[in-house]
Amino acid sequence: MIPVSNPIAEPQGFDDQCRRPGLKWLRGNRNSQRFPAHWTRFQPALAEAFKDRCGWWAMRIADGDVDHYLSKKNHRRRAYQWKNYRYIAGTVNSSKGNHDEAILDPFQVGVDWFEIDLPSMQLKPTANVPPNLKAKVQFTLKQLKLVNGLKVRRNRKRWYEDYKKHLADPGKGISIGALEEYAPLIAQAVKKLQSRRLPLP
């Protein structure tokens, strides 16, 4: 996880096309859990605000979901509120479920709270995590499988290998600049080793 700039500006048309019809539906369907997904048309705007990176993986994803940070089940009135949305990989969304505030919000994350270990591709919290958030961080890492989940590690390795291809042949793979954009924590781990003049594993 990395810091995500917020607040994110509400996209044009959101009030008319999502909030208002959503709130109207809520007033007439107080017990239904079949929420009209008005938010889906604003997925591209949310993805752009997150630079196409999952808020929890901190890596570019091809097609993420609109996550309700505070779940629709527990916070119905937040279902159609732009400030409640986060960009998320589908597999992370499934793991997140209805845990709500128990999960660390990407908007809470500070600089250098997390790092990637090479070559294990495991995510680790650093000493920069505030003491009052350490328990929440540990729960988040476990619940969302952020440390060594198969899918997230596979994605980390893919970005890393793409960069190593570029080192071997500048006409292939991605540059360090692109790696910083697509997978910032991987780039940070690479630059850390390079600054120490250590070989990349």
Question: What pLDDT was estimated at residue 104?
Answer: 98
Average pLDDT of the residues in 92-96: 96
Q: What is the rounded distance in angstroms from the CA atom of residue 119 to the CA atom of residue 122?
A: 8
Question: What's the pLDDT band for 144 if we cut at 50, 70, 90?
Answer: very high
Average pLDDT over residues 178-195: 97
What mean pLDDT comes out for the span 74-99? 97
Residues 159-172 have a mean pLDDT of: 95
- Please compute the mean of the pLDDT values over residues 68-82 and round it to a whole number: 97
Which element (helix H / strand E) includes 141?
A: helix 134-143
List the one residue out of 195, 193, 198 whose CA is nearest residue 117.
193
| pLDDT for 49 | 97
Cβ of 194: how many Cβ atoms within 10 Å?
A: 12
User: CB–CB of 160/148 below 8 Å?
Assistant: no
pLDDT in tens, 18-64: 999 999 999 999 889 999 999 999 999 999 999 999 999 999 998 99
Q: Are 5 and 51 in contact (CB under 8 A)?
A: no
Percent of the chain with pLDDT over 90: 98
pLDDT tens column, 11-27:
999 999 999 999 999 99
Q: Please, what's the b/e burial string for 175-186 (b: 16 or more CB within 10 A of its CB; e: otherwise)?
A: eeebbbebbbbb
